[in-house]
Amino acid sequence: MRIDIHQLPDEAKTKFRKAIVEDRKLDAVKILRDATQAKLKECKVIVEQAIKDHQIGSSGEPGVVNADETVDAMKTVKDHIFSHEKIQAVKVYTASTGATLAEGKIFVENLIRQLETECPERFKESAPNQSGCLLLTLVFAAIVCLLLVQFFVK
């Protein structure tokens, strides 16, 4: 869903901006939901981005935000985290939010800690399989042993 803050009624727009400036996230979400009938998650994403934009010194006037793209990007970030692809998660996060690499790294590390406590089973199930290295080492050792035996038997 595409939500244009500028299309809100004047009263809702004023209340929304005031809530953003005062960092009242819940009030801003409620105002946005009441004015647009959008889903809670979409409103939350838009409010978080608006607060972030305000905190890093943008104009303070939240504009058009494509909530679907932001939600999709966060799903992709989580998918990379569950696949143990931290660097890819940081790249997706920074590309979708405009954050710096340092901000992206901090965000992803915090998200990893949060997800590890919320759903530790996803991390245990998808842990990378490292038995291939051991198997390769054993095969190599067996070949070396066979070659040594052949060399010394002759």
Distance CA 32, CA 34 (A): 6
Burial of 28 (0-12, 13-18, 19+ CB in 10 A): buried
Per residue in 97-117, pLDDT tens?
A: 777 888 888 888 888 988 888
Q: Which helix (H) or strand (E) holds 114?
A: helix 101-118
CA distances 123 to 2, 24, 30, 76, 118, Å, are 33, 34, 34, 16, 10
pTM assigned to the model = 0.43
What confidence score (pLDDT) does residue 141 get?
92
Residue 87 confidence class, pLDDT cut points 50, 70, 90: very high
Least confident range of 63-77, 90-104, 108-122: 63-77
Domain boundaries, the chain: 1-62, 68-154
